[in-house]
Amino acid sequence: MKIFNVGSVNADFFYAVPHLPRPGETVAAGSMSRGLGGKGANQSVAIAKAGLPVHHIGAVGADGQWMLDALSGFGVDVSAICQVDGPSGHAIINVSEDGENEIVLMPGSNRAVPLDHIKSSLDDITPDDWLILQNEVNGTRLAAEHAKAAGAKVVYSAAPFDVGAICEMLPFIDVLAVNEGEAKAMYAALGSTKSAELESVSVLKTLGSDGAEFLHQGTAHRVDGRNVQAVDTTAAGDTFLGYFISAYAQGQPIEECLTLANGAAALKVTRPGTADAIPRLSEVLAFIS
Ligand code: RIB
């Protein structure tokens, strides 16, 4: 079994602010730092830290070598990340003293992944394999269609949220990952028109500090949130998804997948940053035991 991830790679710029700026307000940051991020990269790093091989497919600009080095350092296979003209993707992330965040995303090269590169990188995908996608890169529909035709399982994170993108992806996905706000917006927009298609996919819904729910074949499996001191909630959802899929793809019982992913996400929020702050499997196992 192989896991492929057609996903974003971002330079994350973190600004520690006393509170998130209101419209028109100027807020002075107490510190600033840079690290590897992007929903795609974070999910690949979570899968690698959970101990599974993961092949990341995507694009960076000429400024992106340090991000490839970082991904490789975490054990992610970066041989299918190509270099394209123009800058890499980046994100401006404000993190408040209570751990909340707001993110402005500049997609850059994440929206310029050559379609023939995506297709050829998925040439040897098989029915045993999994494909992970988020809405931060181009070519998601092509990748999903290709993987589905090959019999692989497809997981799609509907973030950044876009109803049109969900509609386009629904016929090709097995697992749809949303947070609470995205789930509400999705069911409000599509509940009546796409109910049959929504019922045919498994929905992984993260609920912030309240835990998560996995709706699978008509049964809702729940895990309660863990009580931790949150310093930065950024990438908690990516951590959850990466750990959940790494266990689910290996056939572990759903409750165990949820417990593992919940522990990983809870540990992540106690640490500042994104990919660098995702815990390793040994840390997660020690935390949940
Ligand atoms: O989910 C967190 C991620 O969203 C950040 O790493 C940032 O790059 C944006 O893609």
Q: What is the pLDDT of residue 75?
A: 98
**Partners of residue 34 on adjacent β-strands:** 13
Architecture of the structural domain at 3-7+39-86+113-288 = 3-Layer(aba) Sandwich (3.40)
CB 12 less than 6 A from any atom of ligand 1? yes
Ligand 1: residue whose CA is nearest its atom 5: 38
Determine the distance separating the centroid of ligand 1 and the alpha carbon of 240, expressed in angstroms: 13
Choose one of 12, 36, 268 to mutate for the ligand 1 pocket test, by most ligand atoms within 8 angstroms of C-beta. 12
Q: What is the DSSP string of the chain?
A: --EEEE---EEEEEEE-SSPPPTT-----SEEEEEEE-HHHHHHHHHHHTT--EEEEEEE-GGGHHHHHHHHHTT-EEEEEEE-SSPPEEEEEEE-TTS-EEEEEE-GGGG---HHHHHHHTTT--TT-EEEEETTSS-HHHHHHHHHHTT-EEEEE--S--HHHHHHHGGG-SEEEEEHHHHHHHHHHHTTTSHHHHHHSEEEEE-GGG-EEEEETTEEEEEPPP----S--TTHHHHHHHHHHHHHTTT--HHHHHHHHHHHHHHHHTSSSSGGGSPPHHHHHHHH-
- Tell me whether residue 224 is one of the annotated catalytic residues: no
The atom number, within ligand 1, closest to the CA of 90 reads 8
Give the model confidence (pLDDT) of 108-146 as tens digits: 999 999 999 999 999 999 999 999 999 999 999 999 999
Q: Contact at 8 Å (CB) between 146 and 125?
A: yes
| % of the chain with per-residue pLDDT over 90 | 98
Q: CA 237 from chain center: how many Å? A: 7
Predicted confidence band at 64 (pLDDT cuts at 50, 70, 90)? Answer: very high
Predicted confidence band at 191 (pLDDT cuts at 50, 70, 90)? Answer: confident
Determine the distance separating the centroid of ligand 1 and the alpha carbon of 1, expressed in angstroms: 27
Determine the distance separating the centroid of ligand 1 and the alpha carbon of 155, expressed in angstroms: 17
Give the model confidence (pLDDT) of 152-163 as tens digits: 999 999 999 999
Mean pLDDT of the chain: 97
Predicted confidence band at 198 (pLDDT cuts at 50, 70, 90)? Answer: very high
Domain residue ranges of the chain, discontinuous segments joined by +: 3-7+39-86+113-288
Q: Give the strand pairing for 153-157 and 175-179.
A: parallel
Residue 37 has pLDDT above 90, yes or no: yes
CB 241 less than 6 A from any atom of ligand 1? no
End-to-end Cα spacing for the chain: 27
Which residue is catalytic, options 12, 129, 232, 238?
238
Determine the distance separating the centroid of ligand 1 and the alpha carbon of 237, expressed in angstroms: 10
Q: What is the pLDDT of residue 40?
A: 98
Q: What is the pLDDT of residue 121?
A: 98
CB 136 less than 6 A from any atom of ligand 1? yes
The atom number, within ligand 1, closest to the CA of 136 reads 10
Choose one of 233, 238, 268, 276 to mutate for the ligand 1 pocket test, by most ligand atoms within 8 angstroms of C-beta. 238
Determine the distance separating the centroid of ligand 1 and the alpha carbon of 242, expressed in angstroms: 14
Ligand 1: residue whose CA is nearest its atom 8: 38
Mean pLDDT of 26-55: 98
Residue type, 130: W
